[in-house]
């Protein structure tokens, strides 16, 4: 791997994965906080939880994809 600008860009893009991790943690943490306040409503909202996590996760995957593109396709 003789580094060039694309590799640096790939590394920078990988930061996005960490940002997505923050987002997913936020979703899950807030869900848990709400669920502990009102456990009876938690079961009905798990689908919403997963949709929320999926949306947050998708953006991290986009960052990861950009990183991969820079690594292998550019």
Partner 1 sequence: MATETTGAVGTCVDSHGSAIGMPQLCFDWFPNQIFWLVVTLVVVFLVLSRVALPRIAAILAERKGTITNDLAAAEDLKAKAVEAEEAYNKALADARAEAQRIASEARAEIQADLDDAIAKADAEIAAKAAESEKAIAEIRAGALESIKLVAKDTATELVTALGGKADADAIAGAVDARMKG
Partner 2 sequence: MASETTAAHGAEGAEHAAEGGSLVFHPMDQFIVKPLFGGDTIAWYTPTNVTLWMALAILAIIGLLVLSTSKRAIVPTRMQSIAELAYGFIYKMLEDICGKEGVKYFPYVMTLFMFIVTANFLGLLPMSFTTTSHFAVTVVLALAVFLTVTVLGFVKNGAGFLSLFWVSSAPLALRPILAIIELISYFVRPVSHSIRLAGNVMAGHAVIKVFAGFAAVAAISPVSVLAITAMYGLEVLVAFIQAYVFTILTCVYLKDALHPHH
Among 15, 21, 58, 74, contact with partner 2 (rule: CB under 8 A): 58
Q: Which is nearer to partner 1, 6 or 42 (CB)?
A: 6
Distance of closest approach, residue 38 Cβ to partner 2, in angstroms: 19
Judged by CB under 8 A, the chain residues 15 through 74 that form the site for partner 1 are 68-69, 72-73
Among 5, 40, 43, 72, contact with partner 2 (rule: CB under 8 A): 72
Q: How far is the CA of 57 from the CAs of 4, 31, 74, in angstroms?
A: 28, 16, 24
DSSP for 1-33, please give it. ----HHHHHHHHHHHHHHHHHHHHHHHHHHHHH
């Amino acid at each position: 791997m003789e580094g060039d600008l694309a590799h640096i860009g790939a590394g920078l893009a990988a930061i996005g994965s960490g940002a997505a991790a923050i987002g997913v943690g936020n979703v899950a943490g807030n869900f848990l906080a709400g669920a502990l306040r009102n456990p009876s409503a938690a079961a009905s909202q798990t689908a919403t939880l997963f949709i929320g996590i999926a949306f947050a996760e998708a953006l991290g995957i986009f960052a990861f994809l950009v990183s991969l593109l820079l690594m292998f396709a550019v």
